[in-house]
């Protein structure tokens, strides 16, 4: 059983008893990524408003944080982003670049912050959504020269919504994991 | 360098991955080409799963909605049934209103059309006598209605006003047993009285047995009863029988006497002209005759068959030489027409030309050619007795040929192999006799 080696945030309370670090494994990770991509395409057909959520982003954040390995997180982000690009009509690399950065940041953050708490993960998910939208706007307007608009109010509201969805999804995926 | 990369391993990897993606993005933007490999692999991986889940969701959804989640279905069903009944009722009401509006329009249009002055009235009910065929209308004396006035619709005669009160009137329908309408037949103009029988059909009486009547023939008002203006349609003949000197004719009224809504009361009748009996014209376009059958029937009727100035040449050709191998004329009338045409051509007579004093061709003369005298098969079967020689039939009393003898018209020049047959078909022509009498005073 491997114990966590990360430094935890000290709040004056004794450290919480944590479960042993659990991972999905490569097969599980791939399945989760595929499920997220499929759900991204299917859910908007049955649930109105489901298209506003970026499920591959949440999965990237989750996997990068739970991997706690920056290179793996970076590559996970790149892979998920490129897969998401392949399912859109735009050029490959837009989401790839953005989620590569997100994966890198999520894995880096997981190295310094205790990410086993659901609240921490959901807040981080909201934060990474904001970063994701900012990078998307930069990519579209600077790299591709399109007239992409960034609506701060809408983005803030959606980031909060992503935080709530992340709570649910992360909990679901946690239930799939088995201790090593 | 290696130490630098090893020290900043994570950042180096990030930069490397980003660099590759930037290059990829730049390549696509610059060249406009797509990197199909990634897309193909990804869609090949995702699409089947999406399709499977989509179909499965549909099936599951159907099962769930139709068999499991039936909460509120009963209440919804009852609500929908009630609304369905309400909509059905509303549809019927709207249809009736539309039909009434259409009928009113039709009646108003007819009111403008006829010459008589009329007042539009609505049928409000039936008479109180169950044995009588009466209806009440919503117009009375105040509207100018008087007893004895005719009541009609756009379809035809309905009846007459039996009693008129202030604001309503009683109308006796024409199918009542006490009702009678002066009527005449369209084709023969034979006059009679159409009496009601208490049933749908009325009986047209006092029509002589000799009068020819066709089923479906229209019956009009004659105007002789001085109630109904002449020329109004009454009904059509449905049955004809003979009883002693008169015929028993049953007529179905055109007006729907059991479904009256709007009627017109004739306040000032004007007799109208009866429609003329027009001979049915042959169709303007006719198909050609079947192959092998001579085209002996034209679309212009008898006049064309007799021949005109423009058709003489063709008629002469046809009269003198019947094409070999062709079938004979189909009917006796066709053969007769052919004969008349041939005779005209042989005697150089042009039908339709000349003044009134121009004598017609002598139809008692024989024809110069054998083909023109070839009879149809039906004629041979119907005539059993041999006729006298051509000389005899052409030499009827008062029918001496006058300088119109044509070569080949003598007995010794009779048709080979068909002389007797030709003889049988030469019949004395009453018109020819009269013309010969004129020429031989």
Residues of A in contact with B49 (CB under 8 A): 34, 38
* Tokens, residue B393: 């039939």
Segments of chain B scoring below 70 in pLDDT: 242-243, 276-283, 295-330, 367-441
Whether ipTM > 0.95 holds is no
Structural domain boundaries in chain A:
25-41+51-176
Residue A108 touches chain B, beta carbons under 8 Å: yes
At residue B331, what are phi and psi to the nearest 5 degrees? -125, 170
Which residue out of A55, A88, A91 would a mutagenesis test of the B interface target, given it has the greatest number of B Cβ atoms within 10 Å?
A: A91
Strand partners, B181: B194
Query: pLDDT tens-digit profile of A72-89?
Result: 999 999 999 999 888 887
At residue B401, what are phi and psi to the nearest 5 degrees? -60, 135
User: CB neighbours of A142 closer than 8 A, spacing ≥ 6?
Assistant: none
Round the average pLDDT of chain A to a whole number and report it.
Answer: 83
**pLDDT given at position B400:** 43
* Tokens, residue A10: 């000290």
**pLDDT given at position B295:** 65
**pLDDT given at position B403:** 42
**pLDDT given at position B368:** 61
Of residues A48 and B160, more confidence is placed in B160
Mean local confidence (pLDDT), A51-56: 89
User: CB neighbours of B410 closer than 8 A, spacing ≥ 6?
Assistant: B391
**pLDDT given at position A23:** 66
A179: exposed, middle or buried (Cβ count in 10 Å: 0-12, 13-18, 19+): exposed
Integer Cα distance of B234 and B122 in angstroms? 20
Nearest to B24 among A37, A92, A104 (CB): A92
**pLDDT given at position B304:** 46
Within 10 Å of residue B322's Cβ, how many Cβ atoms? 21
Q: Which residue has the tokens 């994966």?
A: A103
The radius of gyration of chain B from alpha carbons, rounded to an integer in Å, stands at 44
Q: Which residue has the tokens 């023969």?
A: B188
Of residues B242 and A68, more confidence is placed in A68
**pLDDT given at position B296:** 58
Taking CB atoms and an 8 Å cut-off, how many pairs form between chains A and B? 76
Integer Cα distance of A110 and A127 in angstroms? 14
Mean local confidence (pLDDT), A139-147: 83
Determine which of A35-49, A95-109, B9-23, B69-83 has the lowest per-residue pLDDT on average.
A35-49
CA A80-A85-A87 angle, to 5 degrees, is 100
Residues in chain A: 180
Closest A-chain CA to B37: A86
The answer to whether the CB atoms of A100 and B49 lie below 8 A apart is no
In this predicted structure, the answer to whether residue A19 has a pLDDT above a threshold of 60 is no
Nearest to A42 among B14, B35, B54 (CB): B54
C-alpha distance from B95 to closest chain A C-alpha (Å): 41
* Tokens, residue A149: 């608009």
Of residues A164 and B432, more confidence is placed in A164
Integer Cα distance of A69 and A67 in angstroms? 5
C-alpha distance from A143 to closest chain B C-alpha (Å): 9
| pLDDT band (50, 70, 90) for residue A48 | confident
The answer to whether the CB atoms of B17 and A70 lie below 8 A apart is no
The answer to whether the CB atoms of B18 and A42 lie below 8 A apart is no
**pLDDT given at position A176:** 79
User: CB neighbours of B301 closer than 8 A, spacing ≥ 6?
Assistant: B282
**pLDDT given at position A18:** 43
Long-range (24+ apart) CB contacts under 8 A made by A111-119 are: A111/A6, A111/A68, A111/A70, A112/A6, A112/A7, A113/A6, A113/A9, A114/A6, A114/A8, A114/A9, A115/A65, A115/A66, A116/A18, A116/A19, A118/A167, A118/A170, A118/A171
Residue A47 touches chain B, beta carbons under 8 Å: no
Q: Which residue has the tokens 């009547």?
A: B213
Helix, strand, or coil (residue B236): strand
**pLDDT given at position B161:** 93
Integer Cα distance of A154 and A131 in angstroms? 14
User: CB neighbours of B103 closer than 8 A, spacing ≥ 6?
Assistant: B261, B262
**pLDDT given at position B276:** 65
Residues of B in contact with A75 (CB under 8 A): 13, 17
Instruction: Return the CATH number of B114-268, one of 3.10.20.30, 2.40.10.340, 3.40.50.300, 3.30.360.10.
Output: 2.40.10.340
| pLDDT band (50, 70, 90) for residue A116 | confident
The answer to whether the CB atoms of B14 and A100 lie below 8 A apart is yes
Strands, E assignment, B254-386: 262-268
């Amino acid at each position: 059983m491997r114990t966590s080696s990360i430094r935890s945030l000290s709040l004056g309370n004794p450290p919480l008893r944590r479960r042993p670090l659990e991972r999905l494994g490569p097969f599980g990770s791939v399945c989760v990524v595929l499920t997220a991509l499929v759900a991204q395409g299917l859910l908007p057909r049955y649930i109105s408003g489901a298209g506003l959520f970026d499920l591959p982003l949440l999965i990237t954040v989750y996997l990068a944080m739970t991997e706690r390995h920056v290179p793996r997180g970076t590559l996970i982000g790149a892979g998920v982003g490129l897969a998401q690009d392949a399912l859109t009509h735009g050029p490959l690399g837009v989401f790839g670049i953005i989620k590569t950065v997100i994966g890198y940041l999520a894995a880096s953050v997981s190295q310094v912050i205790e990410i086993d708490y659901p609240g921490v993960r959901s807040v981080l998910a909201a934060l990474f959504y904001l970063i994701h939208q900012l990078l998307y706007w930069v990519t579209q307007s600077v790299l591709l020269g399109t007239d992409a608009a960034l609506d701060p109010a809408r983005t803030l509201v959606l980031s909060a919504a992503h935080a709530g969805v992340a709570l649910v999804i992360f909990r679901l995926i946690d239930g799939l994991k088995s201790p090593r | 360098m290696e130490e630098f990369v090893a020290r900043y391993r994570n950042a180096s990897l990030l930069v490397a991955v980003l660099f590759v993606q930037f290059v990829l993005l730049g390549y696509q933007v610059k060249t406009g080409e797509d990197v199909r490999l990634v897309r193909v692999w990804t869609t090949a991986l995702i699409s089947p799963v999406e399709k499977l889940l989509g179909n499965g969701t549909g099936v599951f959804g159907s099962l769930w909605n139709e068999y499991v989640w039936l909460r509120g279905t009963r209440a919804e069903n009852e609500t929908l049934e009630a609304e369905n009944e309400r909509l059905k009722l509303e549809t019927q009401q709207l249809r009736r209103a539309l039909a009434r509006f259409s009928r009113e329009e039709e009646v108003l249009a007819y009111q403008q059309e006829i010459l008589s002055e009329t007042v539009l009235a609505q049928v409000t009910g039936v008479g109180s006598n169950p044995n009588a065929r009466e209806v009440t209308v919503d117009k009375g004396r105040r509207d100018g209605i008087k007893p004895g006035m005719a009541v009609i619709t756009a379809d035809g005669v309905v009846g007459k006003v039996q009693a008129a009160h202030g604001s309503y009137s009683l109308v006796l329908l024409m199918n009542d047993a006490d009702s009678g309408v002066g009527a005449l037949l369209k084709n023969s103009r034979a006059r009679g009285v159409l009496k009601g029988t208490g049933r749908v059909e009325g009986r047209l009486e006092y029509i002589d047995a000799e009068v020819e009547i066709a089923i479906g023939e229209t019956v009009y008002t004659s105007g002789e009863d001085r109630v109904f203006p002449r020329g109004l349609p009454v009904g059509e003949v449905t049955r004809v029988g003979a009883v002693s000197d008169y015929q028993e004719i049953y007529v179905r009224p055109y007006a729907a006497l059991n479904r009256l809504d709007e009627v017109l009361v004739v306040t000032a009748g004007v007799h109208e002209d009866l429609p003329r009996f027009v001979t049915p014209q042959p169709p303007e376009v006719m198909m050609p005759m079947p192959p092998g059958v001579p085209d002996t029937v034209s679309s212009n009727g008898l006049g064309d068959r007799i021949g005109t100035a423009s058709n003489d040449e063709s008629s002469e050709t046809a009269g003198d030489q019947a094409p070999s191998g062709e079938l004979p004329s189909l009917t006796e009338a066709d053969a007769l027409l052919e004969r008349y045409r041939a005779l005209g051509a042989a005697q150089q007579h042009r039908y339709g030309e000349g003044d009134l004093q121009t004598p017609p061709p002598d139809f008692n003369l024989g024809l110069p050619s054998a083909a023109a005298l070839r009879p149809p098969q039906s004629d041979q079967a119907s005539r059993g007795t041999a006729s006298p020689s051509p000389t005899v039939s052409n030499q009827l009393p008062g029918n001496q040929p006058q300088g119109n003898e044509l070569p080949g018209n003598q007995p010794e020049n009779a048709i080979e192999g068909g002389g007797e047959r030709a003889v049988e078909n030469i019949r004395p022509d009453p018109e020819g006799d009269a013309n010969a009498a004129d020429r031989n005073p």
